[in-house]
């Protein structure tokens, strides 16, 4: 991952720790010595102020500071006076060495043991400006000066404050040894480097583990959102965090559920819309085909009627026999048109559910015999042989009038396509809860690619739509519509020696 949050957070925190350590090192190197010296200067200024207050208090009692110190001095420190307590505190707390000299009596007082005469001479040399050592003045006040000096005897630096107190007769020297601050800074920086490296390593590990814990749920949410972008809404965030990440995960779960529900509804609506569009296209195609087929089927009879009617009008059939022939042709073609229109109206009513079924119990075998008997003249005219094979009465529950129409259409279709031995075999048998009726006729097989198209309105295997058989191509469409309204099956198959049409019905059972 090119811009990982985990890596960026780790770099930021490690960089911040390194910056803090480097800043501390630079502060130690550049400012610690100044701060140390400034603090010591402040101590000397504070000591001067406190001792000067003590001097003023001694003057009020009519004594100098040295006499005041001696007057309150107790060898056993059992009754320590304010001067002794002040000097001891300065020595113990700040390692401060104090020398006081009364300029009127030349008497000296030291707060710690040491070379009294050396220190006395040293402060007198400062006062009178003799043998001044190499010193850098840090602060200069009205009565005293604070400076940094180097002592060759001890090879060390001191901060010294010397001058007069406010009584203008007491000379003083305050001295604080300065430790080797540079060496202390170097030692402190080395120690800081060791501690900093260890802290940096431990901190880096802690930061890595912490950022990993923080970024792992984020990566999980990223993967979850990627899957959601691929429309996979079954993925869920299973984290138990109660922080902002947990809130985001729960929100994404709710979003996934809502998107899944919404997209599901949209898909269903889209499928319905697609079906409606396909149905509309199908209806438009059917309408176009219907208009074309109806026009084609009506064109010939209308032309014949028009031609023979014009012939009658112009007196082409003057003898009774010719007139009768012309009239028979006109009547025959009119009957064909009337039959086709009634079939179309019947088919439309069936397809749109406007023709309700009249379900009743009847004997299917007896119905088939009646249809065969009614078509006797047509069968003789076609020189056909029709045989019924049955196993006795078969009672079914259906619309008897419409089933009679199915059988009639199958029989007429068989008569129109007879060839060879010109045999038609109708079978009726009961198979469990179903009754099966088949109509076989000898003749040519139907091309396999046309079998499924036979149920389409106006479809004819004869592509030229010739009038040899006189069929309109609507009968099998009516059969399919009737069987669909009964929620039963129908079909056609090529068999040895001819073609076989079939349909099923629900057998009647006493309840």
What is the model's pLDDT at position 509? 79
467 — pLDDT class (breaks 50, 70, 90):
very low
Residue 252 has pLDDT above 80, yes or no: no
116 — pLDDT class (breaks 50, 70, 90):
low
Judge residue 167's burial from the number of C-beta atoms within 10 Å of its C-beta, 0-12 exposed, 13-18 middle, 19 or more buried: middle
Distance CA 68, CA 56 (A): 11
Contact 448, 433 (CB under 8 A): no
502 — pLDDT class (breaks 50, 70, 90):
very high
| Percent of the chain residues past pLDDT 70, beyond the cut | 82
Judge residue 466's burial from the number of C-beta atoms within 10 Å of its C-beta, 0-12 exposed, 13-18 middle, 19 or more buried: exposed
For residue 297, tell me if it sits in a domain. Answer: no
Domain ranges, residue 466: 356-506
Exposure string over 427-457, b if 16+ CB within 10 A, otherwise e: bbbbeeeebbbbbbbbbeebeeeebeebbbb
For residue 229, tell me if it sits in a domain. Answer: no
Judge residue 369's burial from the number of C-beta atoms within 10 Å of its C-beta, 0-12 exposed, 13-18 middle, 19 or more buried: middle
For residue 165, tell me if it sits in a domain. Answer: yes
C-alpha distance from residue 409 to each of 366, 372, 404, 438 (Å)? 17, 12, 9, 13
Least confident span in 137-151, 380-394, 400-414, 469-483: 469-483
For residue 128, tell me if it sits in a domain. Answer: yes
Residue 470 has pLDDT above 60, yes or no: no
Instruction: Choose the final residue of a domain: 184, 206, 224.
Output: 184
- Digit-coded pLDDT (tens) for 35-75: 888 888 898 999 999 988 988 888 888 887 777 777 766 55
Q: In degrees, to the nearest 5, what angle opens at C-alpha 73 toward C-alphas 72 and 75? A: 150
- Digit-coded pLDDT (tens) for 344-384: 666 666 666 656 778 899 999 999 999 898 888 888 888 99
For residue 347, tell me if it sits in a domain. Answer: no
Residue 298 has pLDDT above 70, yes or no: no
* Highest averaged pLDDT of the listed ranges 124-133, 226-235, 315-324, 378-387: 378-387
Domain count, the chain: 2
> 83 or 41: whose pLDDT is higher?
41
Average pLDDT of span 220-245? 74
Residue 448 has pLDDT above 50, yes or no: yes
Instruction: Choose the final residue of a domain: 160, 184, 208.
Output: 184
Distance CA 468, CA 418 (A): 12
Average of per-residue pLDDT values in the chain: 79
Residue 484 has pLDDT above 70, yes or no: yes
For residue 239, tell me if it sits in a domain. Answer: no
SS3 breakdown of the chain: % helix, strand, coil, rounded to 5? 55, 20, 25
Residue 101 has pLDDT above 90, yes or no: no
| Dihedral sign (CA 489, 490, 491, 496) | positive
Instruction: Choose the final residue of a domain: 184, 205, 223.
Output: 184
What is the model's pLDDT at position 3? 57
Q: What is the CATH number of the domain that holds 399?
A: 3.30.565.10
For residue 15, tell me if it sits in a domain. Answer: yes
Judge residue 319's burial from the number of C-beta atoms within 10 Å of its C-beta, 0-12 exposed, 13-18 middle, 19 or more buried: exposed
For residue 464, tell me if it sits in a domain. Answer: yes
Take residue 11 and report the two structure tokens written for it: 């770099």
What is the model's pLDDT at position 65? 78
């Amino acid at each position: 991952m090119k811009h990982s949050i985990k890596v960026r957070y780790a770099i930021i925190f490690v960089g911040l720790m390194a910056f803090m350590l480097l800043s501390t090192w630079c502060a130690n190197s550049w400012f610690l010595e100044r701060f140390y010296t400034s603090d010591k200067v402040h101590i000397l200024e504070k000591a001067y102020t406190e001792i000067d207050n003590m001097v003023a208090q001694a003057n009020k009692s009519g004594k100098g500071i040295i006499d005041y110190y001696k007057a309150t001095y107790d060898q056993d420190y059992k009754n320590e006076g304010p001067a002794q307590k002040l000097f001891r505190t300065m020595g113990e707390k700040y390692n401060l060495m104090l020398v006081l000299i009364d300029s009127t009596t030349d008497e000296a007082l030291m707060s710690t043991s040491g070379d009294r005469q050396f220190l006395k001479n040293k402060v007198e040399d400062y006062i009178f400006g003799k043998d001044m050592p190499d010193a850098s003045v840090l602060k200069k006040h009205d009565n005293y000066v604070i400076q940094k000096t180097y002592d060759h005897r001890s090879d060390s630096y001191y901060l010294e404050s010397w001058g007069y107190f406010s009584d203008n007769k007491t000379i003083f020297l305050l001295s604080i040894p300065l430790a080797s601050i540079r060496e202390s800074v170097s030692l402190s920086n080395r120690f800081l480097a060791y501690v900093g490296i260890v802290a940096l390593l431990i901190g880096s590990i802690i930061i890595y583990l912490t950022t990993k814990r923080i970024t792992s749920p984020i990566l999980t949410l990223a993967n979850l959102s990627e899957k959601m972008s691929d429309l996979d809404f079954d993925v869920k965030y299973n984290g138990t965090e109660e922080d902002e990440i947990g809130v985001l995960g729960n929100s994404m779960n709710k979003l996934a559920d809502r998107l899944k529900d919404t997209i599901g509804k949209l898909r269903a609506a889209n499928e319905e819309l697609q079906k409606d569009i396909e149905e509309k296209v199908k209806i438009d195609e059917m309408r176009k085909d219907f208009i074309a087929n109806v026009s084609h089927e009506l064109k010939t009879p209308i032309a014949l009627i028009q031609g023979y009617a014009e012939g009658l009008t112009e007196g082409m059939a003057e003898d009774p026999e010719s007139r009768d022939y012309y009239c028979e042709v006109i009547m025959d073609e009119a009957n064909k048109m009337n039959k086709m229109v009634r079939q179309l109206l019947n088919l439309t009513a069936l397809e749109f559910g406007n023709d309700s079924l009249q379900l009743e119990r009847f004997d299917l075998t007896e119905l088939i015999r009646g249809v065969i008997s009614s078509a006797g003249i047509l069968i003789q005219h076609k020189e056909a042989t029709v045989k019924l094979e049955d196993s006795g009465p078969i009672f079914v529950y259906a619309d008897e009038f419409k089933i009679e129409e199915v059988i009639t259409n199958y029989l007429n279709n068989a008569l129109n396509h007879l060839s060879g031995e010109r045999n038609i075999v109708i079978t009726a048998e009961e198979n469990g809860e179903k009754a099966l009726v088949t109509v076989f006729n000898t003749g040519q097989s139907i091309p396999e690619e046309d079998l499924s198209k036979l149920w389409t309105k106006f479809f004819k295997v004869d592509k030229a739509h010739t009038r040899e058989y006189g069929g309109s191509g609507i009968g099998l469409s009516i059969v399919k519509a009737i069987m669909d309204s009964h929620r039963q099956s129908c079909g056609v198959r090529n068999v040895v020696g001819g073609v076989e049409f079939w349909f099923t019905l629900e057998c009647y059972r006493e309840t």
